Amino acid sequence: MEVRYESSRRETASMNTEELRSNFLIQSLMQPGVVRLVYSHYDRMIVGGAVPLGNPLKLDTHSELKSDYFLERRELGVINVGGPGTVQVDGKSFSLDKLDGLYVGRGVQAVTFASDDASAPAHFYLLSAPAHAVYPAHRCTAAEAAPVTLGDAATSNRRTIYKYIHAEGIQSCQLVMGLTRLDTGSVWNTMPPHLHSRRMEVYFYFDVPDGQRVFHLMGEPQQTRHLVVANHEALLSPPWSIHAGCGTANYGFIWGMAGENRDYTDVDAVPLHTLA
């Protein structure tokens, strides 16, 4: 499990492209036959990917956690962005098609991931935060995630938002998780941008067509930076940073947060004319 430490606003403003990418961009998250994990010291979030092939993959604990099993003091959100698969939670099976989500609560000792077909494997995106209470495992399909379409083709940001783990949906300790898909011809996400200093956020981009890229915007509103992102790459977004992007084609992204509260609407808007 790779460990990433915090970077202050001041040092981030002076980073070159290579330094920005090494601190905030997570590449090679989806590796065939492997569970890959990155531990961030921003709200102690763990970002992961699991791509099972012929054999199931187990979610093991790691020495950095100082725990007997991975979810001893944590909760977990899972969203499948690949072929059909199954997640076993202490022996109970949950089938996940593409865009289906699953919450797994604190205290679960055994989590394994399997693909229905190794030639078209599931790609399980994982997000885990510390938890202080127990909530039951719960599956949510994309249709059950209360999809809402927002934006306008005229401003290239017509998109559908799916909320899985949030205050009015699947219950959790502090994890908030969902995804957004942009319509064909729309490329902007989270614009105008916002901040929420009470929560960090992670973006995971998926369904980015071959050869296309997303230009992800980060940094303070008056000190913006950008990172060029490919398919199945993730971005750590500090609480002081905007998180927005523009693609060379339409795409999807999973958003996940942890921190002070689970209020999806708790954002501080940043007017476009103030960006620099």
The mean of the pLDDT values for the chain is 97
Taking the complete model, does pTM exceed 0.95, yes or no?
Answer: yes
- Residue 257 confidence class, pLDDT cut points 50, 70, 90: very high
Domain ranges of the chain: 2-274
- Rounded distance between C-alpha atoms, residue 9 and residue 14, angstroms: 9
Domain 2-274: which CATH number of 2.40.128.110, 2.60.120.10, 2.30.30.180, 2.30.140.10: 2.60.120.10
| Dihedral over Cα of 215, 267, 175, 259: its sign | positive
- Chain segment 74-107, per-residue pLDDT in tens: 999 999 999 999 999 999 999 999 999 999 999 9
Q: What's the pLDDT at 154?
A: 96
Residue 119 has pLDDT above 90, yes or no: yes
* Annotation: binding site for Zn(2+): 194, 196, 201, 243
- Chain segment 214-228, per-residue pLDDT in tens: 999 999 999 999 999
* Annotation: binding site: 194, 196, 201, 243
Longest dimension (CA), the chain: 53
- Chain segment 158-210, per-residue pLDDT in tens: 999 999 999 999 999 999 999 999 999 999 999 999 999 999 999 999 999 99
- Rounded distance between C-alpha atoms, residue 218 and residue 275, angstroms: 11
Question: Quick one: average pLDDT of 56-83?
Answer: 97
Q: What's the pLDDT at 159?
A: 97
Among 37, 43, 16, CA closest to 227: 16
Question: Quick one: average pLDDT of 57-66?
Answer: 96
Residue 146 has pLDDT above 90, yes or no: no
Concatenating the DSSP letter of every residue in 143-202 gives TTS--EEES-GGGT--EEEEEEESTTSB--SS-EEEEEEEPTT--EES-S-EE-TTEEEE
